[in-house]
Structure formats: structure tokens, C-alpha cells
Structure 1
């Protein structure tokens, strides 16, 4: 009797576990390579690698909320890391198959795919990559590069690098247009709704003997527009496939932990005082697009490890949005 109950309990546990796994599939795919840590089996060889244009809904990882959105002005500095062998051949967050030998990257909030230029601020190497996954979710990392991307940027061996990440707006729009042919993303974007246009045409007076004629779009114009669009897509994909590394001038940079940024000086001073137990933050006044901000920062740090340790302390003190920046 005891054995029967054990077998029955085992069957129930298996059924419950199977149901939980099925219900979690969609959520796991959202989190990209973070979620893939939960499984060691790659997708079947014939798994669909068809990419889709995906912005995604807000999501939470390790107590931190992320808000994906279109941002064609995105330009940020920080620390890059890379990922490869553990995820090679597995699905990315937008349905592609991850190839560690291709040039790609994971980002927490940019649409997938997006095209970004990543510049290693330590050696001046610069590379155009395709964002097709979500991550990195380690504190203090701004982007996670594929292994090949890290090799080309020259930081595979050291594991991390100070980088600048700039979205390439035109190329990103081209990919969005290709993968969302209906004219909009598959999921609602956090942007203003576009305005349609109305064309007015004078009508003949009542009783006119001239029959109405249908307005036919010029086939030549349509063909030309399609050709331009196809050429733009081809040029973007050619640029991504080239794995071409350019060299740009860079200046010396420092690593900082930014605990917060405020439009009011007194708010910055209050946070600085509250974090005095963690260290000695500075309150700096800066102007961004004509607006004055007061940043609460620690640093510069000696290295990434020191910045990581301090960042954890600042987060533990209640500043979940604190981040590592390079300046």
C-alpha cells in the first residue's frame, strides 16, 4: 500500500511539474539567456530561427523592473561582458538561434532586433552588432556581447571592458520595417502614436457628364519605393555580416557608481547623506540637453571589481537603480 501511494504521489508530482513548465515557457523566452540557465538542452536542429520585431512588456528580474521601449536616441556608457558556450544553439528572446561565432548582443530594454555600435573605450575598437536577446542581468553591466563580438573588440580574455553603446537609428528602423511589414511592432511600443495623413481632392460639380475615374497608384513609384527599402535592408544586413572593426580615437576614462540623478539639489544631498555609511559620494551638477541635473556618484574606481563591490553595497542600501558608468 505504501508503494502504491509513493507511485501515485510521484505521478502527481510529475503532472504538476509538467504543467508548471508549460505555463512558464513564454516567460522563460522573454528573459532570453538569463532564463536559459535553467535548462541544458539546446533546441532541436530544425527549430525556427525566424526573427520577429519585439519590444516586450515591462518585466522583473532579481527585484529590478525593466521597461523595454523604442529609443532611437540611446547612447550610454558602462561595462560590457560576453556570453557564449553555455548558450550556443539555444533560442534568443526574439526567437533566433544564438550563435556565439556571430556578431550579436543582448540588451535589457532596446527592441529586438536593434542595430548598435559598441566602442571599446580602452582600445578604440568599434563594431556594429545586432541586438537579439535580453540581458545582461548582472548588476553593473550595460550590454552582453557574443563571444565573437568580444574577440573582435579585444576583451574576450579579460571578460569585461569599458564601452560606449550607441543605437544606429536608421539601420534599426530598417530592420523594424522589414520584420514588422504591417507598419508597426508586434507589441505596443511606449511611444507616441503616429498621426495619419488625409489627402483632399476636388470633385466635379453635380451633373457633370464626365465619368468618375479611379485613382491608380503609379506602379513605377511603388516599385521604386520597394527597391529602396530592399536596398536599405540589404545594406544593413551586409554591414552586420561584415564583422568589420573600425578604430576610433578614445580618451582616458574613469569608472563610477552612480546612485541617482535628480533635478533638485536638495534631493541629491539627502541621498548623499543617506549613503554616507557606504562611502563618500560626490554630488555633481551637469547640464543635459539644456536641463540641470545633480548626480550622486562614487568614484572614480580603481577597476571593475571594486565598482562591482561598491554597487552591491549601494543596491543593498536601497538604491535599486544604481549603476556602473564610464566617464
Structure 2
């Protein structure tokens, strides 16, 4: 992963961030701690990688969006990298984009991010070129349907084909660590938006299942009724097949791809289930596995 030192064009500097190489000499007011401790200004490792001992990222709780003041660092109106000027957004409200995600890890662990916080590859964080710092965002892997809330506290990646740089933990949780990059959708979250269910039809290439669903009914399905879960809906058949395989391989649940005559979307359905209680147990298992919670359908 190539990183570059960039010069901020306003009086407010981004600082020695994890997304840029350290200055030639550490700042006089911040002596370099030993052993790569948080706040260091020199990289111990020349090549980036994941941790030698992998912690369990599946059980790690996601960040909960909350109101936070803008960071004192990393939020200039504009800054320049490699001769290109970027304008920091005044608000993250309504931001949504699809593109490639990359990740960074051990090489930058413990070093300062653009916001001034130490980078921790074991936390669910990310770097973005223009979102305000900090911003909470939901990142969804478009190839397997897994999604995760991250806290954006750094700047980067400065490659035009990439839209976000994830911490190692976030990349591992989303299933893109091994490939290095992955196709994702990034949606900025506010405290109010976090508690609302998403709405089908608001995403151009893949429709995420709603986060909330009606309370479970433990009664058995009425005779002739079939109970299903919809895990996602996609315009591309390949994306639907990828989610189908991921769900089947990880959860061993009955899953199929359907395309109703009245819809142009390929829908990933699980089931049928014998009762609402069985369906709700499956939905909980899917959520705990890191996938976006599916919506009940009949």
C-alpha cells in the first residue's frame, strides 16, 4: 500500500497521520515513544500486513454512532496530496458511494491518524478523503452482503480508484482482507439514521435488507403459507450468487436466488421455515455472522 506525505493548503494541518509517511524528524513537542507506541512518528515495518496473531473480529461489537464534535485536526476546508486538492465536506449527511475499498494494518498500527488519534488496526475504523472527521459509516461488501459500521478518523486512500481505506479488523470482518481490495458501498450514518431501517430501492446496484423487522411470532405458519427471509436484492446475478454461496457455506441454511417476473432484481431468499420462531432464529444467526439482517417475506 503506497502512502504519501501531503501538505495541507490551509493553516490547519492534518498532522502526522497513518495515511502518510512520517516527517524526516519527529516534531520537537512530540518525542517518539519506544516500540512503536501510539503517537510514534516513524514506521517500524516497511511492508504492511495483518497481525501475526489474529484476534476474533467476528464477536467484536460494532461502533455505535453518537454525536461527536469535529476533530481539531484533519478537517481543513481543503488540502492537497500529489498535486491534487481535496475539499472536506461540511456535513456527512446523505453521503453514499460505491467503489473499491482497501485496508491498512500492522505497518501503521500505533501511529497518528489525520485526526490526531493513534491508529488501532484492531478497531473498526477507516480513512476517507473528504468525509468530516469523525464520521460513522456503514460499509457493505457488495460481493458477499456482509456489512459493518466503522468510525472514519483518518484521511486516504489517495488512489483514484478507491473510495475508502479500512482498518485490518474491518477488512477481515467484511471478508476483503485476503483479496486486498473489495467492492463496497459506503453510507454515512447519523445518530437518527442509525436507528431507522433502510428502505429497499434506495441503492442503485444492490438493495440492502431492512435492519428492523416486526416482532417475532412463535405461532406456526398457517397451512399453505411459506415463510422466507430475504437477505438481499441485486441488479447483478453474480452479486446475488456470491451472497448465496457465502450464506450457504457459513451458515448451512437453505438459500436460493430468485427473480420474480415483475422485478428486475435478483433476490436472495432463505427458507422455507416451518414457523416464525424458526425464521427468527435463523435471522439472528445471520446477523451474528456479520451479514446484514434479512427481512421476513411470505
Q: TM-score range by the shorter chain?
A: 0.3 to 0.5
Q: TM-score, normalised by structure 1?
A: 0.42
Which has the greater radius of gyration? 1
Higher helix fraction: Structure 1 or Structure 2? Answer: 1
